Structure 1
Amino acid sequence: MDHFRSYSWLKRMLFVIAALTFISSSFLFLTPPGENIRIFLAKTVITTQHRDWAWIFVGAERRDQLVLEVQNLTEINSMEKQNLQAVKYNKDRSMESLVKVEDISGQFWKGKKMYVYDPRTIRVMVPAKQGEGERITSMVERTGAVAGVNGGGFNDPDGLGNGFAPIGAIMSGGEILYTDQEGSIPQHIVGFTKEGTLIIGKYSINELLKLNVTDAVSFYPRVIANGKPLITSGDGGWGRAPRTAVGQKADGTVIFIVIDGRQTHSVGATLKEVQDLFLAEGVINAGFLDGGASSEMVYNNELITKPSSRYGERRLPSAFLVFDHPEEVKVENVWKGLTTIDPGGAYDHPEFLKEQAEKKAKAPKTTPTPKPTATATPTPSVKPESSSDTTGKNGASNPPSGANGGTAKPSPSVKPETSPSASPNAGNQQGNGSTNTGAGAGSATGGTSSGASAEPKPSTAPANTTVPAGQQQGQSGTGNAPSGAPSPTPKAN
């Protein structure tokens, strides 16, 4: 111990760090509880924009197994069709208000819960202009809505997408505004029928039209079906993250839940924690909307939750808004007639570009070192010797140099040597620039991803998404939505 105390503070600190690293690594990799923690962390990362990094906790092979498990569970839970007769609207109930908002909290999270007593007042809203998504506060203010939450997923390169490239389907007012699948292919759907019944699960566009679904977006997973909880063991497999979810009680009341995450005041919730909140309210059908950095709730023109994006509210392709007079709401199809959709990315994200410009301006400027130039140094000329006598010691004259003391001829001046030619390559080297092309990465999902992630590097514009041909009503789409095959795990933005 005395020997340890004799170490400098730096050595002691390094020793402590090494000891803690050894102890924590031994716990995580050599004990069953440690393994459970690593799997939980891997699942959390899998549902973000950076799912590939999950190998750090469990290895690449186990990571791929976890991704497949999540995909399979999502598909299985989406297949059961709903009993549309299970909802019995209580029309005699006095309506004190259109909506009611409450604070909710758990051990690791805080959020908001909003009751909507008449589900027919809920409509899907989309951006006001082509080429760019819209923030929920902007949608609410523009349309005069009472409240709103974020909706479906979207293609989100680098976690910096422009919010204009949806994944799946978008319906509003009975019209198909967007779909990236043909009408017979089932997609993950969260929507409402004309009567106000919440529909969650896998349905094709053709099925939705037959069920009189008027407003819908695409996202998942489903957690309650026909009164049955679908997560019966574990935490749901998606770790902790910001969440947005919707459920409906048997009397028709719709409940929206938004939970903050990836922040000091709120880490985030698991899927099962949200499922349990709904079960406590008597919800009979429930599922998730886009989460991660997209999660937010707006009420009375105020953002009442705290999105995890470092840029604040995100631009989004869809939202569920609540209106006093939903029959008066007109929703324009901003994707109509488009053949390609640019999802955006780091190369055109305004806040990101501004941030990078500010960092560049604050960075210390370095003076470039000048390159040496090869030049010849001339030999200095030799001055001619003076012909005048010089006085020696004791006043005696020193004879000029010459044979036998004769008068010496003045030495001729030596001409300077000519400068040697510089090497033909000297001083002429130039750096050849090479073009680096970055690639954008994206996912929605919710996605999303992304929030609490490493700063993305700027990239070149990703290739525009091509809209598949043969879509209903001439709608456009990306090619990344869930289809009849196992769907990719959505990434929280």
Structure 2
Amino acid sequence: MFTLLIFGTSSFLYLTSPGLLIREFLAQTVISTQHRDWAWIFVGAEKRDYMVRMSHQFTETSALEKQDLQLIKYDPARKARSVEELISEPIDISDKFWKGKMIYVYDPTSVRIVTPHTVGEGERISSMVTRTGAVAGINGGGFIDPDGLGNGFAPIGLIMSGFDSVYTDVELETPQHIVGFTKEGTLVVGKYSLLQLKEMGVKEAVSFLAPRLIANGNPQITNGDGGWGRAPRTAIGQKEDGTLIFVVIDGRQTHSVGATLKEVQDLLLKEGAVNAGMMDGGASSELVVKGELLTKPSSRYGERRLPSGLLVYDDPDSYKVDRVWDGLLKINAGGAFDHPDYLKDLERQKQQQQQTKQQEPAKTQEPPKTDSTPPATTKPENPKPDTPASKPDTAKPPAKPDAGKQEPPAGGTTPGGTGTGTTNTPATNPGTANPGSANPGAANPGTATPGGNSPPASGGTGSTATGEPLDITKVPPGTGDGKVPAGASSGSTGASGTTTGGGSTSGTGTPGMGGAPATTVPNTNGTWAPPAAEGAKSQPAAPTTGSTSSGTAPSGSGTAANANASVPAASSSGTSASTPATGTQTGTGTAK
């Protein structure tokens, strides 16, 4: 549906005569702004350039007719009036496409051209009115306006106030488009040089490159709409009795699109104006009465900073112009890089972006925080989990691994030998399995011989062990810190067993509850030693003797969460003092 709408609209605009008129009107509207180059979108670059030339040509031809200064018959006696009688109440004006405000100024000699008070920056009309005590004011002449965000301090053309040239960017003999007032209050609209204005007795003047609307009672736009499209407008006209008419029309907004030049001309003709001209328009257009802004400027930041304004005073001679451009060799027009409101917008946008970035990670991290919290029920019931019953025998030095190979085993197995012992008596306290956890380690497979093929260790005997049975469900799991707890038992140290390369160990006899580092494995004599190096075979443990005992400990197994170590319980058996007991132990580990 949307595609069909675009196709239909495009076909109408580019393939029909009414569509061409609409495109030309849109191009005229764009040409009257600071973005005239974009008018090619509607009519093409060649037609755009032609329309720009025609606009300039009309501006020039409208200024050719010399103004009859004797046409205005102002009675100086009208100066004897009160402040309330100086201007009219604001009048609402409107048409099909626009709305605006209008006031009458009954004393034309009360108008002064006002300049900014601060060097380097233009000033808003409301500020000018309040600062200087004016009754009312409208925006004045044009200025250089980079990005539409200029600082209002770089005027174009001429500024005169109190018979004095405050600013000019051309030679004294070069004519410029001006709107001004003689000392008698006669409105002057046309193209004049500074020397000509002084000869004519012009007291106040400001420049703006725009067509003259009415000259000596004659409308200048007789065909078309003036060629400037629709936009906000500021205009000034004068009746034969000297009464001034200030007109400000809103534009580029939903409540008011804007007026054409001809619509403004026709309005002023209807009001009885015999001379009329355009002031700067667009986002600069505004009317202030008694300190209150009555219109709605189209600038996104409200009132703009301007280089000049036309203000109405009860005592016009009380105003002394500020010569803010004197002595300046270079004038900074400003732009987006130093516009205070624009920079504030950028800062707010940056802060909003930073806040958004900070909030997004917080939302994504909430679920992991909840999931990673360990449940309270996982706390072991063992009253002393940190005090194991047996610990590695630090008094006996551990066996040395093969030289040059210190990596912990992972992924392979190294079966140990079988241990033997003398006559044993049954153990009353069987060992229990206590799986542990350890930190992950690199896989180090060994060249292990199959279980049971290792040379048997010399038989060792353990002392008689007694104890109460231990509930294996209450043995705490490993903590994952690299310490590997052995099987829980109060029995004696068992004989050697096989060692699995995945990090699990087991041995004969009854394991104790002590923890052991993940990087050591038990010997057959109960001490702890580093694991066998890669490819190493298990070695027979030295024979030991002990007191008469026999028994069978149940086997157990455990698996570490990581590759370094897990210690399942041992299994062992013995028959008589003269017959060595044989036990095997296996453990498994998972390399990650």
Output the amino acid matched with 2:115.
V
Q: How many residues align?
A: 383
- Report the Cα offset of residue 90 of structure 1: 3.4
Which residue does the alignment assign to 1:272? 262
Q: Write out aligned runs for 1:26-41 (5 A).
A: 26-41=11-26
Q: Does 1:98 align with 2:86?
A: yes
Partner Cα distance (1:398, 1:102) in 2: 109
Partner Cα distance (1:225, 1:294) in 2: 25
Q: 1:225-249: per-residue Cα shift (whole Å, max 9, x none)?
A: 1111110010000000000001111
Segments of structure 2 that go 5 or more residues without pairing to the other structure are: 362-404, 421-449, 456-498, 500-530, 536-592
Partner Cα distance (1:221, 1:139) in 2: 27
Partner Cα distance (2:46, 2:451) in 1: 100
Tell me the SS of whatever aligns to 1:341: coil
Partner Cα distance (2:172, 2:77) in 1: 38
Residues 1:379 and 1:213: Cα distance change in structure 2 (over 3 Å): farther
Which residue does the alignment assign to 2:250? 260
- Report the Cα offset of residue 214 of structure 1: 1.1
Which residue does the alignment assign to 2:287? 297
Q: Write out aligned runs for 1:404-443 (5 A).
A: 413-414=533-534
Q: Does 1:144 align with 2:144?
A: no
Which residue does the alignment assign to 1:227? 217
Residues 1:334 and 1:289: Cα distance change in structure 2 (over 3 Å): same
Q: Does 1:365 align with 2:485?
A: no
Segments of structure 1 that go 5 or more residues without pairing to the other structure are: 1-15, 369-377, 392-396, 403-409, 416-493
Which residue does the alignment assign to 1:486? none
Greater relative contact order structure (CA < 8 Å, 6+ sep): 1
Q: Does 1:356 align with 2:346?
A: yes
Q: Write out aligned runs for 1:205-354 (5 A).
A: 205-219=194-208, 220-354=210-344
Q: 1:243-298: per-residue Cα shift (whole Å, max 9, x none)?
A: 00011111111111100111111111000000001111221111100000000000
Tell me if the contact between 1:389 and 1:398 (Cα under 8 Å) persists in the aligned partners.
no
Partner Cα distance (1:320, 1:362) in 2: 41
RMSD of aligned residue pairs (Cα, Å) = 2.6
Output the amino acid matched with 2:207.
S
Partner Cα distance (1:386, 1:34) in 2: 93
Q: Does 1:172 align with 2:201?
A: no
- Report the Cα offset of residue 81 of structure 1: 1.6
Which residue of the other structure, out of 61, 67, 72, is the alignment partner of 1:82?
67
Residues 1:398 and 1:335: Cα distance change in structure 2 (over 3 Å): closer
Partner Cα distance (1:189, 1:323) in 2: 21
- Report the Cα offset of residue 381 of structure 1: 4.5
* Bigger CA radius of gyration: 2
Output the amino acid matched with 2:453.
P
Output the amino acid matched with 2:333.
P
Which residue does the alignment assign to 2:417? 388
Partner Cα distance (1:89, 1:127) in 2: 30
- Report the Cα offset of residue 89 of structure 1: 1.3
Tell me if the contact between 1:164 and 1:317 (Cα under 8 Å) persists in the aligned partners.
yes
Identity of aligned residues (%): 60
Q: 1:2-36: per-residue Cα shift (whole Å, max 9, x none)?
A: xxxxxxxxxxxxxx111111111111111111100
Q: TM-score, normalised by structure 1?
A: 0.74
Q: TM-score, normalised by structure 2?
A: 0.62
Output the amino acid matched with 2:305.
R
Partner Cα distance (1:345, 1:18) in 2: 39
Tell me if the contact between 1:390 and 1:399 (Cα under 8 Å) persists in the aligned partners.
no
Which residue does the alignment assign to 1:201? 190
Partner Cα distance (2:330, 2:452) in 1: 102
